[in-house]
Structure formats: structure tokens, C-alpha cells
Amino acid sequence: MQRTSGSLEVFIIVVEDEIWLNYREDVSLKKFTYKNHPKGCSIDNGMKQTLVANRDFLILAAGHLENLLRNSISLISIDLLEGADFSENSDRDNNNRPLLYPRFFNKISKPLKLCNPNVCEIKVYFSTHIIMEPILSFMTCLNPSQLKKIILLTSVQEAKLDVTGLTSLTQWRKAHTVIMNDFFITADICDFVNFSEARITLDKISLDNLKFLKQHFTSNSINPFNIAISYRQRSNEHIDEIFGKPLIDQDQNNELGIQQWTFEIKSSDYDLLIEHIETSTLPMFIFSSVPSKKTLIHFQSPFGSLNSVFSNPKLFKLILERIPLPALFVLRQVSKQLRQFVDFLNFEINIQKLHIIIQPDLLSLKVSQFSRWYSKETVLHGGASDPLERFILDLGLILKNQKQCIEVFTCLISYTETVFEACDHVEKLTRALMARGCWIKVKSLQLKTRTQADFVSILSCFDSDYLKTVELGNDISTDKVLKTNDIVKLDQWKNAEKLVSTCRVKIVNFKHLSHFLNVEITVESVEFEDLDVLKQAFIESEATKKYLIICDNFELEQLYEKFGRPIIEIVDQIKHRKWFFKSNNGNALAIYIHIREDGKTCIQMHHENASIVPVDLLIK
């Protein structure tokens, strides 16, 4: 196959004893699954299955990949999912299985060295087992002059990564962007300063590190840059000893925990902006270039009559905070200088509601501002140049300086059945939500996506002190079961007051529900012990609560044994069973249970005015 001038995206997914090899050109997505078979190799292209006798499936998959990489590749995404519960329903224990991906990449690396593939971006996701050697041997085959972005991701908590071998590669030194902040990395800080964009996490950042970074960026920076360094611990010395006193901005919200310093960059139109931010997870330093104040003061508008406005940034900032969102987008497109001027001013876009949709064929951004709705939609079609990146940039602009609490944030992320699109969509969205280094203030969050990992990543971006309502849903079906064992550990879950789920959820321990004031969920089954936990929480609660739980399976006889026979009431030919209990807040706890026409059990629990419940019906 000859090299083509077109741009191809290649997705490699390693799942137990299978290799998924998918590739996309424009909007055309082709999928191949190579699987080991007792008689050889099974190949599934989505339309038919083929058995190739007496052939190793790894060799066939490697040969197909080698053929693809003779084209120009805009992205190669590698998802190493061996041992991962990526399906949300898998309970298999694969800890003792030999890993597949080291063998696969060892087979592909040797022939690739001969063709030296042109790849612009490589992204690797480690689900459980983190072994860098096979990835390093693969990366050494890539054309260094073409590789611009390196992204390493993982869902492993406290994962450590030694990137010494990676930083010695020519491909590393030639790249423009590196993102690996999911790991605590082992490397020299000087290996990260020549990128235009870098996101890393260190176990410890020292005073000498900070001195070096300041000296480097004020002396050697020609091109724009943005380097974010998260860390677990820092030297005891005060930052002021290196950077001086931080800037004081009357418009800055002190609750965000942001400190800023600016320094002049020699022989440049940019200044160095250093920010120290206390984020939701780890604190971070951000070193970035911003347009020099001298440049902005001498900015000349193409419209002479507006020069007096641009010479008064505070006035212009007031104007920007009061114009509709479409006008702001148009204003930023007038010229590069004007866009820099607009972005330099830390103005807040006042929004009440924000709705975003990310689907394979549609990107939609809707904003309620000044009691009116504004929308920006992109229908995806062949020839579009990374519209998702442009969409994320627009979202980042809207949220960049947000201080007021957004009333409603609705987010739908939908993708095809393949895992690689989930990683791409969710990773880019969370990067936009956390770009400024602090939580998004939202009162009510409505989130629909696919897996528990998706929900955890996105929920973690919101300020738990403001989030009161959490609504969860599946992007394709209400029958899919969402596991919540990781979600319930989040402060966003623990501090919320209302929970709504439009899909079925799996609650291992119903104590994780007991703090909510209002619950509307569907579960597979409810045991008596689960209901008893909630009953006790209702009885002890000083606040008024209201729960609605729909379940597939519930043994009513258990309730008769523990609570006694209920009061029976027939409503629309449906039998309702009722129990009443004394509550500490002066109300009565009412439990209503009935069987719906579809066979599901409906459990309602709420506080009711005790004065309307006959005393002899109250269970003490």
C-alpha cells in the first residue's frame, strides 16, 4: 500500500485474547477483530466472520497494522484493556493471564522500523498493567519529524511511571505536546520545558525546580507555551522567596485558591504568567505565556474610533461581560490581535444554563444567557478538521473565568460501541472542564454517558460544595446497569441532596443513598436489609425526605415478617401496601409499595404529616 496524502486515525484495542483494529478516514469507520481460535485465527469485520486456519492471530493483526501505517496517520490510539472491567458487566478475574500487548508490539516493531510511519499524535491508555517497554519500542519506529503529540493515560490510582527511557528518544525531543498527568512520573524537570504544552504530575516539586522553571521561561521562550505541573508535596520554603508577592486582582475570586505572578520575557511580545492553584485533587503550578501588557497597550484596532476603548481594558472588560455569546465569538474572529486582547481580559461570561451534546454525528453547545438561549451546532461530515477540538475550545472559553454558580449543566456524551471513542470524548471534555485548575460551580448536573469511569471522570470536575442535584443516565438504553462502587466515593455524590437515575443502577450498600433528601432510581433488586437501612435513615433524619425506588425483584413476604401486615388500599385497580413509622422530626415515615403493570415493584418512602395518620397505625 502506498502512502496517501489523506489523514487516517488508527485505534488499537487489546482486550484479553483479542486485538481490535479500527481505523477511520473522514467519517468512514472500519472495524476488525482478530481473535485466537483453536484452529487458527478468527477475523470479524462487523459484517462477517472468517476463520484463517493455522495462522497466529497476533501475526495477522500486526500485518494489518503495518499495512495501515504506510499511510499518513493523524492519530494512533492504543487502549490496553487487559484485565479491565470496561464492559461494566464483566466479573471475570484475569489477573493471572499472560499479557497480550507486549507480545503484539514486539511483533509489530521490527517491520515498522523499515517503513518509519508518519504519525502526528499517539495516545496510550493503560487500564491496569503498566509496562512501557513495548510502547517505547513501538514509538522508536515512528518518524520523529512528524510526531507532534504524546498522551499517556491510566485509570490506575497512584500509578507511577518512569519515563527516563521515553525522554531519551528523538521522538520526545521533537514533539510539541505531552500529556501524562494521570501518573506520578520519574524524570528530570528539564525534560518538559521545551514543549508548547505539557501536563505532568510529580510526587514532589522542589525550590530548585521552581527557580529553574522561572529562569528558563524568562530567558529562552520564543513560542507560546503552557506547562502544568501537579504535585503531591512541595519544599517547605515559601514561594515568595522565588516569585515575590503574588498579584492582587480585585476581580479574582479568592475562594478559588489561585495565586498569580507575571514576569517579562526577554525579547518577546509575551510575559510569563505563573499560577499556583489548589485544585480538587492535587495542587499545581501553571507556567504559561500571555500577551505582554506593553503589546496590549499599543494594540491598534483596525477600526480607528475603537482605539480609545482598547486603551481602557477595564471598560472593554465591562462591555465583554454584557454582550451576548454569539457576538463574543464573532468578535474573536475579527483578527488575531483582537482575539489575544479579548482572551487576556479575565472577564466572566454570565450563564444560567449550559447544555452540551457530543455524539458521533453532532456537537451541540447551548447556553442560556440574559434569559435567552444561544446555540452552536456542528453536524459532522467528511472533511471536517477536528471539530471536537474546536468545540472543546469554545466550551473552555465559556467556562474560563466562571465564578457564578450555573443553575443547570446538561451533558450527553454518546459514542458507538467501541471503547476508543469514549476515552477520546471524555478525556477532551474533562480537560476543558479542568483547564483553569478548579472545580466548575453547578447547582444541578444532568449527565448521560456509558461507563462508570466516564461518570467518575466528569463528576470529579464539579464543585461538591455547590452541586445539589445529580441526574445520571445511559446514552443508549435505560436497561443498561450502571455500577456505582467508585461513584459513591466522590464528594460530589456524598454532598448532593437529590439523586435521579434514568438508567438502572447497582447500589452495593444502600447506606450510600441514605444522605440524600430526594431519590428517584431504578435498581435490579432490593433486599429487606436495604429497605431497613433507608427506613432507619428516614426515622433519624431531621430533614424531610422523599424516595422513589423501582426494582425488578423484591420479596414482599420479608416485609410482612419484619414490619407486620400492611394497610391495603386499591387505587385504579392496583393494590397499594402501606406502613407508617414514627419519625424523630415530628412527621411520620410512610412506606408505600405496589406492583406495576410491567411487573416491577415500586417503593415509595416519604415523610408525611403525623397528624393525619391514625395513632394506632404508627409502628414504633
Strand pairing report for 8-15 and 18-25:
antiparallel
* Lookup: cell for 482: 450502571
Q: Tell me how far apart the alpha carbons of residues 269 and 298 are, in angstroms, rounded to a whole number.
A: 11
Q: Where are the alpha helices (DSSP H) in 299-371?
A: 307-310, 313-320, 325-332, 336-344
Q: Which residues pair with 483 in a beta bridge?
A: 506
Neighbour count for residue 426 (Cβ, 10 Å): 22
Q: Tell me how far apart the alpha carbons of residues 15 and 93 are, in angstroms, rounded to a whole number.
A: 13
pLDDT at 457: 87
Mean pLDDT over residues 298-326, rounded?
61
Per residue in 152-163, pLDDT (tens digit) is: 988 788 899 999
pLDDT at 194: 86
pLDDT at 422: 54
pLDDT at 79: 85
In the predicted model, is pLDDT for residue 439 greater than 80? yes
Strand pairing report for 121-126 and 149-154:
parallel
Number of H helices and E strands in the chain, helices first, is 18, 31
Strand pairing report for 588-595 and 518-525:
unpaired
Strand pairing report for 353-359 and 362-369:
antiparallel
Give the Å distances, CA to CA, from 186 to 180, 290, 362, 463. Answer: 11, 29, 40, 31
Q: Tell me how far apart the alpha carbons of residues 411 and 576 are, in angstroms, rounded to a whole number.
A: 37
Neighbour count for residue 581 (Cβ, 10 Å): 19
Residues 218, 219, 220, 221, CA torsion sign: positive
Most confidently predicted of 262-276, 291-305, 357-371: 262-276
pTM of the model: 0.58
Per residue in 321-341, pLDDT (tens digit) is: 777 777 777 777 776 666 766
Task: Tell which phi-psi region holds residue 459, choosing left (phi > 0), alpha (psi between -120 and 50) or beta.
Answer: alpha
pLDDT at 90: 41
Is 301 or 437 the better-scoring residue by pLDDT? 437
- The secondary structure of residue 98, as a DSSP letter, is P
Of 48-52, 120-124, 312-316, 410-414, give the lowest mean pLDDT range.
312-316
* Lookup: cell for 383: 472533511
Reference 420, options 103, 105, 54, 86; nearest CA is 86
Q: Residue 574: CA atoms inside 13 Å, Cβ hemisphere, count? A: 15
For 421, phi then psi, to 5°, come to: -70, -35
Mean pLDDT over residues 9-15, rounded?
87
In the predicted model, is pLDDT for residue 297 greater than 80? no
Q: Where are the alpha helices (DSSP H) in 168-255?
A: 170-174, 207-219, 240-243
Give the Å distances, CA to CA, from 554 to 526, 530, 532, 557. Answer: 6, 11, 13, 9
Mean pLDDT over residues 112-132, rounded?
84
Per residue in 153-202, pLDDT (tens digit) is: 887 888 999 998 999 999 999 999 999 988 999 889 999 988 989 999 99
In the predicted model, is pLDDT for residue 515 greater than 70? yes
DSSP collapsed to 3 states, 397-443: HHHCCCCCCEEEEEEEECCCCCHHHHHHHHHHHHHHHCCCCCCECEE
Residues 448, 452, 456, 458, CA torsion sign: negative
* Lookup: cell for 439: 472545580
Strands (E), 39-154: 40-44, 49-53, 73-80, 121-126, 149-154
Most confidently predicted of 91-95, 142-146, 297-301: 142-146
In the predicted model, is pLDDT for residue 533 greater than 60? yes
- Neighbour-count burial for 145-163, b at 16+ CB within 10 Å, e otherwise: ebbebbbbbbbeeebebeb
Strands (E), 335-371: 353-359, 362-369
Neighbour count for residue 559 (Cβ, 10 Å): 20
Mean pLDDT over residues 549-573, rounded?
85
